[in-house]
Every structure is written in C-alpha cells, then in structure tokens.
Amino acid sequence: MTELKGVGVALVTPFQENGKVDFAGLEKLIRHVSAGVHFLVVMGTTGESVTLSEEEQMAVLDFILEINAGKLPVVFGIGGSDTRAVGERMRSFSKKDVAAFLTASPAYNKPTQEGIFRHYKHLSEVSPLPIILYNVPSRTGSNVLPETVFRIAAETTRIIGIKEAAGSIEQVMELAAGLPEDFLLLSGDDPLLVKHMACGGHGIISVVANAYPKRFRAIFETCVANDYDKAGKLHSQVIPLINDLFAEGNPGGIKETLRHLGICEHHMRLPLYPVSKDHSQKLYRHIAELGEQ
C-alpha cells in the first residue's frame, strides 16, 4: 500500500454552532489540506467519530469522496469495543474509492494481548478492505505491544500497517526492527515525525496537518531525502504550536487553530468543548509566528 505512505491528515469534522455538520467548512478544509497531504483519514478520533451517528459518519464520508473526486487515497475509521459489531460493519461496507480502514484497539474493556490479537484476526477475516491498526494507549487504556503487532503482521492477511501513537520512540524502533518491510509503520504522534522517520517509518497520520499540510509534507520529503538536519529545523518551527495544541484536548486545539486561520469554526459536540480564551490567544501567537501556512 505505497499510496498510504507519506503524510495523511486525521481530518476534523467541522460543526455549526447548532451541532450539525458544517459541510461548507468541511469542503474548505478538504481543499486546503489536499494541496499538501498524500492521503485523507476520515472519522478518526480527531474527527469526533464517537459523537456522530453511523448515518452522519457515512454522510461525511460521501461528501468527502465527492469533493476529493479520487485525487487522494481515503482511509475510513471504523472502531469500537465489540469485535463482532466492528466486524459486521466492516463486512457490510460497500463504498467505493476507500483504500483502507483505520481501527483502534478496543477501548474501555482493556483486553489482554491475546484478546487484541484475536480482535484483529477476526477483523482481517471479515473485512473487504485492508486495515491499519491504531495503537493509542492514552485513549484505549492498553498498549498493543510490539510482539503482538509482529504476530498480527505474520498471521493475518488484511492488516497492512499500524498507526503507532504510544508516544515512545523506543517502541517505534522495536517495531521498525521487527516488522516486514512492506508493513506500513505510520506515526500517530506529531512531535515524533522526524525521529519516527529516522527509525525507518513510512510517514504520519497527523492532526497538525489539518492546519499546515504543506509544512508537514516538506518535513516528510526532507526526511526521505535523508537530510535530517534540515528536517529537524523545519520540524522545530512547528514544535511550539504542537506542544500547546493538545494542552486542552484534541480536537479542541486544532479546531481553534483552524478558526484562527479562517478555515472552519471551533464548535464541538459535548462532552468536548472549545479551548479557553487564554489558550486560544496562545495558539494565535504561535500561528502569527509561523506566518504562511
């Protein structure tokens, strides 16, 4: 799946003040990010998928597919804590122009490593599309350990990569050393992009690329060119923003940034709530310092 190497963007879902999906804002966002990223990720955590009904999720996906018109690969997030329900939703999926599913390990019920393996094995058996597993312990409550990822890579056919967001460069190094070369190793941590690439990673699914797609593509391409001194300098320019972006939660920080950039509003669905005024001003100062997008 070489089409899913590079910079993917974990798209936000813009909302109107009344809570309805803001399709005009979504169109503006898609046209903005498409100028820089390599692929789109729809209905991940950043897209607030847990507060959208399945009907709303599919409406958002259909709209994005229409606007994208086949220009970029699209990855669609389907997840949950009931293996059978996730599998049935994947099995019945019939949309064209979707390259793969992204699915996080089950949250809240905190399965063992054996349970995580069997979860992904079942999904691999029923899915009509390739699957990227998503390891994000800060949200799921359990870490998909490298040995489990190695087993998934060796014993399933549909699992083609991992979005690794444990925040541990040591874990990235272990994965890079033990995974097959054709198994995608994508970062889920914006601050670790350059280090991740230096370990042998294949790219990133980025939150910050909603706002700065061209900058993240430039960092990635500089890493590919093996110019890590320059890549580090480019990355360091956005690190102050990244460090503050998640201080009051995701996607609150990136939505506030997008509001300052005039791309979409900052509205979210409860229990998420926009960032404080003080934090908004801090993000605005970072945007002013960065200059052009």
Task: Please write the tens of the pLDDT for every residue from 120-129.
Answer: 999 999 999 9
Mean pLDDT, residues 169-194 taken together: 96
- Chain mean pLDDT for the chain: 95
In CATH, what number is assigned to the domain containing residue 40? 3.20.20.70
Mean pLDDT, residues 36-46 taken together: 96
pLDDT at 72: 96
Does residue 202 register a pLDDT over 90? yes
Residue 150 resides in a domain: yes
Residue 279 resides in a domain: no
Q: Determine the structural domain holding residue 97 and report its residue range.
A: 2-226
Does residue 245 register a pLDDT over 90? yes
pLDDT at 158: 96
Residue 139 resides in a domain: yes
Residue 251 resides in a domain: no
- The domain tally of the chain equals 1
Mean pLDDT, residues 156-182 taken together: 96
Q: Phi then psi for 274, rounded to 5 degrees?
A: -55, 155
Does residue 1 register a pLDDT over 70? no
Does residue 293 register a pLDDT over 80? no
Does residue 171 register a pLDDT over 70? yes
Residue 62 resides in a domain: yes
> 53-77 pLDDT, tens per residue?
999 999 999 999 999 999 999 999 9
> 117-161 pLDDT, tens per residue?
999 999 999 999 999 999 999 999 999 999 999 999 999 999 999
Residue 293 resides in a domain: no
Mean pLDDT, residues 229-242 taken together: 96
Asked if 203 and 162 count as a contact pair (C-beta separation under 8 A), the reply is no
pLDDT at 3: 86
**Catalytic residue IDs:** 134, 163
Residue 284 resides in a domain: no
> 82-100 pLDDT, tens per residue?
999 999 999 999 888 999 9
Residue 118 resides in a domain: yes
Mean pLDDT, residues 192-199 taken together: 97
Entry pTM:
0.94
Percent of the chain with pLDDT over 90: 95
